[in-house]
Amino acid sequence: QVRLVESGGGLVQPGGSLRLSCAASGFIFSGYFMNWYRQAPGKERELVATITSAGSTNYADSVKGRFTISKDNAKNTMYLQMNSLKPEDTAVYYCNATSPIGFRFWGQGTQVTVSS
Protein backbone atom coordinates (compact mmCIF):
# COMPACT_ATOMS: atom_id res chain seq x y z
CA GLN A 1 0.00 0.00 0.00
CA VAL A 2 1.41 3.36 -1.05
CA ARG A 3 1.64 5.97 1.67
CA LEU A 4 2.93 9.52 1.59
CA VAL A 5 2.86 11.33 4.93
CA GLU A 6 3.76 15.01 5.14
CA SER A 7 4.89 16.73 8.31
CA GLY A 8 6.54 19.95 9.41
CA GLY A 9 3.91 22.50 8.55
CA GLY A 10 2.81 25.23 10.91
CA LEU A 11 2.59 28.93 11.58
CA VAL A 12 5.65 31.06 10.93
CA GLN A 13 6.33 34.78 10.71
CA PRO A 14 7.32 36.41 7.43
CA GLY A 15 11.01 35.90 6.83
CA GLY A 16 11.03 32.69 8.82
CA SER A 17 11.82 29.13 7.84
CA LEU A 18 10.16 25.75 7.88
CA ARG A 19 11.25 22.29 6.81
CA LEU A 20 8.64 19.94 5.41
CA SER A 21 9.14 16.19 5.27
CA CYS A 22 7.39 13.52 3.24
CA ALA A 23 7.79 9.95 4.44
CA ALA A 24 7.10 7.44 1.70
CA SER A 25 6.33 3.74 1.76
CA GLY A 26 4.86 1.04 -0.45
CA PHE A 27 6.75 1.80 -3.65
CA ILE A 28 10.29 2.06 -4.99
CA PHE A 29 11.00 5.59 -3.76
CA SER A 30 14.33 5.96 -5.55
CA GLY A 31 12.75 5.32 -8.93
CA TYR A 32 10.09 8.00 -8.77
CA PHE A 33 10.00 11.70 -9.48
CA MET A 34 9.09 13.37 -6.23
CA ASN A 35 7.27 16.69 -6.14
CA TRP A 36 5.96 19.29 -3.75
CA TYR A 37 2.73 21.01 -4.73
CA ARG A 38 0.77 23.64 -2.87
CA GLN A 39 -2.76 24.96 -2.94
CA ALA A 40 -3.80 28.27 -1.50
CA PRO A 41 -7.44 29.06 -0.69
CA GLY A 42 -9.37 29.82 -3.85
CA LYS A 43 -6.45 28.92 -6.11
CA GLU A 44 -5.47 25.92 -8.18
CA ARG A 45 -2.88 23.46 -6.98
CA GLU A 46 0.54 24.46 -8.28
CA LEU A 47 3.85 22.67 -8.64
CA VAL A 48 6.46 24.09 -6.28
CA ALA A 49 9.50 21.85 -6.70
CA THR A 50 10.59 18.59 -8.28
CA ILE A 51 13.43 16.19 -7.65
CA THR A 52 14.03 13.46 -10.18
CA SER A 53 15.13 9.91 -9.54
CA ALA A 54 18.64 11.04 -10.48
CA GLY A 55 18.52 13.94 -8.05
CA SER A 56 18.04 16.82 -10.47
CA THR A 57 15.87 19.60 -9.15
CA ASN A 58 13.52 22.20 -10.56
CA TYR A 59 11.58 25.02 -8.93
CA ALA A 60 8.71 27.33 -9.59
CA ASP A 61 9.92 30.87 -10.27
CA SER A 62 8.11 32.11 -7.18
CA VAL A 63 10.25 30.01 -4.82
CA LYS A 64 13.64 29.92 -6.60
CA GLY A 65 16.44 30.91 -4.28
CA ARG A 66 14.26 30.46 -1.19
CA PHE A 67 13.18 26.82 -1.23
CA THR A 68 15.35 23.70 -1.51
CA ILE A 69 14.03 20.25 -2.33
CA SER A 70 16.03 17.18 -1.35
CA LYS A 71 15.57 13.50 -0.63
CA ASP A 72 17.17 10.67 1.28
CA ASN A 73 16.67 7.42 -0.59
CA ALA A 74 17.91 5.40 2.38
CA LYS A 75 15.12 6.87 4.51
CA ASN A 76 12.49 7.01 1.75
CA THR A 77 11.96 10.62 2.68
CA MET A 78 11.74 13.87 0.76
CA TYR A 79 12.22 17.33 2.21
CA LEU A 80 11.40 20.92 1.38
CA GLN A 81 13.49 23.54 3.16
CA MET A 82 11.62 26.83 2.97
CA ASN A 83 13.46 30.03 3.87
CA SER A 84 12.53 33.70 3.67
CA LEU A 85 8.88 32.77 3.80
CA LYS A 86 6.30 35.25 2.57
CA PRO A 87 2.58 35.53 3.31
CA GLU A 88 1.91 34.42 -0.27
CA ASP A 89 3.56 31.07 0.55
CA THR A 90 0.57 30.29 2.76
CA ALA A 91 -1.04 27.13 1.44
CA VAL A 92 -1.56 23.44 2.00
CA TYR A 93 1.58 21.70 0.81
CA TYR A 94 1.25 18.26 -0.77
CA CYS A 95 3.78 15.55 -1.41
CA ASN A 96 3.46 13.80 -4.77
CA ALA A 97 5.18 10.76 -6.22
CA THR A 98 5.09 10.18 -9.98
CA SER A 99 6.31 6.96 -11.56
CA PRO A 100 8.22 6.80 -14.86
CA ILE A 101 5.01 5.62 -16.54
CA GLY A 102 2.77 8.22 -14.98
CA PHE A 103 1.25 6.70 -11.85
CA ARG A 104 0.69 9.46 -9.33
CA PHE A 105 0.29 9.27 -5.59
CA TRP A 106 -0.55 12.04 -3.13
CA GLY A 107 -0.14 12.74 0.54
CA GLN A 108 -2.83 14.27 2.70
CA GLY A 109 -1.18 17.69 2.86
CA THR A 110 0.26 19.89 5.58
CA GLN A 111 -0.77 23.46 6.28
CA VAL A 112 1.81 26.23 6.09
CA THR A 113 0.70 29.66 7.31
CA VAL A 114 2.97 32.68 7.04
CA SER A 115 1.63 35.53 9.11
CA SER A 116 2.69 38.05 11.68
Q: State in Å, rounded, how far the first CA of the chain is from the last one.
A: 40
Identity of the amino acid at 67: F
Q: Confidence class of residue 100 from pLDDT cuts 50, 70 and 90? A: confident
Q: How high is the pLDDT of residue 10?
A: 97
Question: For 23-55, what is each residue's pLDDT tens digit?
Answer: 999 999 989 999 999 999 999 999 999 999 999
Asked if 96 and 34 touch (Cβ cutoff 8 Å), the reply is yes
pLDDT at 90: 98
